[in-house]
Amino acid sequence: MTEQTLTQPAAAAQPDAPAPGQQVQAPGPVPEKPRKSRRPLLRGIARWTAAVLVLAGVGTGTAMGITAMERSEVPGLATESDGRWEYPRLALPALPAGTLRPYTEGNDGEIHHADLRQLLLPAPKGATVDPKLDGGWVGLDTYLAHFHADDRGAVEEALAESALRHVAARGWTTPDGTSTRVYLMRFTSVAFAEAFKDDVLDTGTRGSRLPDGVDGETVDSSLRDARFSYLSLYSFDERKPYGPEQTRWAYIQAGDTLGLVVQSRKGEALAVPFQQTVVLQAQLLG
């Protein structure tokens, strides 16, 4: 409850003193003024009181709604004015009996026990889902198609060395022409997941693993302020000059799982929906 400030009543107005030499007349009978009805004033007070109570009720209801939100729920971050997409309300899937979520005490291996397909970010409102990337399991060739043809052999070799278990993927296209693909790869341990991530991001002897059609990259610093206690983000933009479309992509290192978010758009891949998509997918993995 906010503290109320008490105001002191105003002092009664004092009559002006007579000027020197001014004759003071004795007060005569004062004619009685007609009494005004207090009903309009009371009605006004009642209306203002009702308005305050309604606003207080709305504020209380909003606060109760926020505080009652389950910890497993992730907000959709939908704001039309700044270019973000309208995602459905997200929630973490149920776990198999006797298992723990990653990054909790007792799950030292940071294992995602939930169905990997249920950890995929859903398509936003108005998007057309790619029937080949509908949120189910995909073959290795589907994931390898993300890379340059000359790099696919090296990536496949790295995956063979990293004990990949399976890959789930979802893709969609929004009305503005932005194409989004999300891949989640689960490995047998955190060590294998990190080893593959380091290999893919390595710019040494095997070269940088660029997306197909991309000839150069720059580090995307727009996600540098995104803070996750147990996750790591590696975000990139296609380096100018690029062709008829631009591509952005980001890797999410999350325990035994590695996520990849890719967005392409004719002209320019917009930063805001890309950042929003990466952050929401990271939250589902965290």
Taking only the tens place, the pLDDT of each residue in 100-125 is 999 899 999 999 999 999 999 999 99
Q: Which of 39-43, 81-85, 104-108, 207-211 has the highest mean pLDDT?
A: 104-108
pLDDT in tens, 227-285: 788 899 999 999 999 889 999 999 999 999 999 999 999 999 999 999 999 999 999 99
pLDDT at 12: 39
pLDDT in tens, 186-227: 999 999 999 999 988 875 544 467 899 998 889 888 887 787
Residue whose structure tokens are 């105003």? 10
Intra-chain end-to-end CA distance of the chain, in Å: 36
pLDDT at 244: 93
Does the bond joining 241 to the residue before it have cis omega, within 30 degrees of 0? yes
Residue 51 pLDDT > 80: no
3-state helix, strand, coil in the chain (%, to 5): 25, 25, 50
**What are 232's two structure tokens?**
């790591």
pLDDT in tens, 6-26: 333 333 334 444 433 333 333
> Structural domain boundaries of the chain?
122-285
Full 3-state SS string of 52-65: HHHHHHHHHHHHHH
pLDDT at 81: 60
pLDDT at 110: 92
pLDDT at 36: 46
**Where do the DSSP E strands lie in the chain?**
73-74, 90-91, 128-138, 164-173, 179-187, 217-219, 232-238, 245-254, 257-266
Q: Which listed CATH number (3.30.720, 3.40.1000, 3.40.50, 3.40.1130) goes with 122-285?
A: 3.40.1000
pLDDT at 62: 33
Residue 146 pLDDT > 60: yes
Q: What angle do CA 59, 60, 61 make, to 5 degrees?
A: 90
Q: How many CB atoms lie within 10 A of CB 2?
A: 4
pLDDT at 86: 96
Query: What does the alpha-carbon distance between residue 156 and residue 146 come to, in Å, rounded to a whole number?
Result: 12
pTM beyond 0.75: no
